Amino acid sequence: MLASSLVFLALAFCLTVAQNLSIPSTWRDPTTSLSLSERVSIAQNCIDTLTGVLNTSTGSFSGLGYWQDANVISAMANLDYFTFSRTNQQAVTDSLNATFSLYTDYDQYGCYNDDAMWWATAAYYGYRAYGDINLLSHAIETWQHVSNYVITASDASSGKQPNKDFLIEGSCEGETMVGGVFWRPTSDDTSVNSITTGLYVALSAYLASATGNITYNNAAILSANFIKTTNMNSGGLVLDSIDAQDCTRSPSDWLFTYNSGKYIEGLSVLASVTGNSSWTSLLVDIVAVATKATAWEGSNGIITEGADITEDNDGVGFKAVLMRGLAEAWSRNIGNTTLRTLIQSYIDVQFNALLDLASTSDSGSMWYSPAWEGPGPTSFIAWGQLAAVDVLVSAVRINS
């Protein structure tokens, strides 16, 4: 118990020391003079290029993967939410309803809990934007499905998770596994990862806010504690995965924007729901390091992760999740001007890089490269648009 406490204190100390909310002088162009209407037009233009390859009967965009489809739908709903509009409502609701009817609890082929949660979160965003109770029910049903793969206190104590066919460790390196969420629902998969757990934190907190049900609140707290105590490095960045069977970890350099980004979003909502300032403090610490992480950006502040222009892969969609999480943190921390200015500046760095370095104009449409330092693409790249859309939507929000 003493060793565990010392580990946590050391982590807390590192985060406190690391917190620096100043804006580096080396960042490229951290402000924008574009008007709200101009920024909305730019964001909607990007969405329109993607809806041109959308099949609403399947919720799928040509050229993108299943979880990526959900993230475009999320951006569409969020732009409407931020602008009090219903421009994208039909495409969003048709896609969400169709996908839920095709795949029980949004779990395509029973393969990945994080895929199900990306879609459930998109359904929540749709509910938030349009007040559609049907979409809220989709989110709740999917949350209940994934909850079957959360490690409970009882599971940790007994060493057995009822939906897994192997013994689990109740703690790893002296820290609890309670609240960790298994990446895959298959009975033999041993991986607990931060993105699935972070998605669970965020959706649980959103559902707690929407329903007032303490069950969601408690679930969010347990899973948020798991990431805080068990799956962060000493520098304050969220790690990727840990094996529940033998406590082996993913490589220490597996540091991806979306792990910290989704956790930032979850902490933002959890802090609002609980009123617990410790979650806000942790949020601020993580934002301070995530916006200056050499693991995924250069000294100019532009994110370099997921820059593949030749083929789609999971990595190209990661950085958009960080943008969305930061925009949520900006929205929910009105009293912290320094934090909000840092977030605004960081998103605007990416926004200006996209417009100045990584875009190409074609017949009134803008094409974006997934390589944000440029050059602009010579043709439409669906995953380039995917990576860009959350930046463009977030720039609408944080510059309002």
Whether the pLDDT of residue 8 is over 70: the answer is no
- Over range 367-386, report the average pLDDT: 98
Burial class (CB in 10 A: 0-12, 13-18, 19+), 322: buried
pLDDT at 4: 34
Cα 324 to Cα 351: distance, rounded to the nearest angstrom: 13
Whether the pLDDT of residue 5 is over 90: the answer is no
Q: Using the 8-state DSSP alphabet, how is residue 182 labeled?
A: B
Under the banding of pLDDT at 50, 70 and 90, the label for residue 400 is confident
Contact 385, 396 (CB under 8 A): no
Work out the number of other CB atoms within 10 angstroms of the CB of residue 218.
Answer: 12
Under the banding of pLDDT at 50, 70 and 90, the label for residue 11 is very low
Whether the pLDDT of residue 152 is over 50: the answer is yes
pLDDT at 62: 98
Whether the pLDDT of residue 15 is over 80: the answer is no
pTM comes to: 0.95
Could you give the percent of the chain with pLDDT greater than 70? 96
pLDDT at 19: 79
Q: What are 155-202's pLDDT values in tens digits?
A: 999 999 999 999 999 999 999 999 999 999 999 999 999 999 999 999
Nearest to 197 by CA among 212, 215, 169, 219: 219
- Over range 83-112, report the average pLDDT: 97
Could you give the percent of the chain with pLDDT greater than 90? 95
The dihedral formed by the CA atoms of 384, 385, 389 and 392, expressed in degrees to the nearest 10: 80
Whether the pLDDT of residue 12 is over 60: the answer is no
Nearest to 183 by CA among 141, 146, 219: 146
Q: What are 37-55's pLDDT values in tens digits?
A: 999 999 999 999 999 999 9
Under the banding of pLDDT at 50, 70 and 90, the label for residue 287 is very high
Residues 6 or more apart whose CB falls under 8 angstroms from that of 279 comprise 224, 267, 270, 271
pLDDT at 1: 30
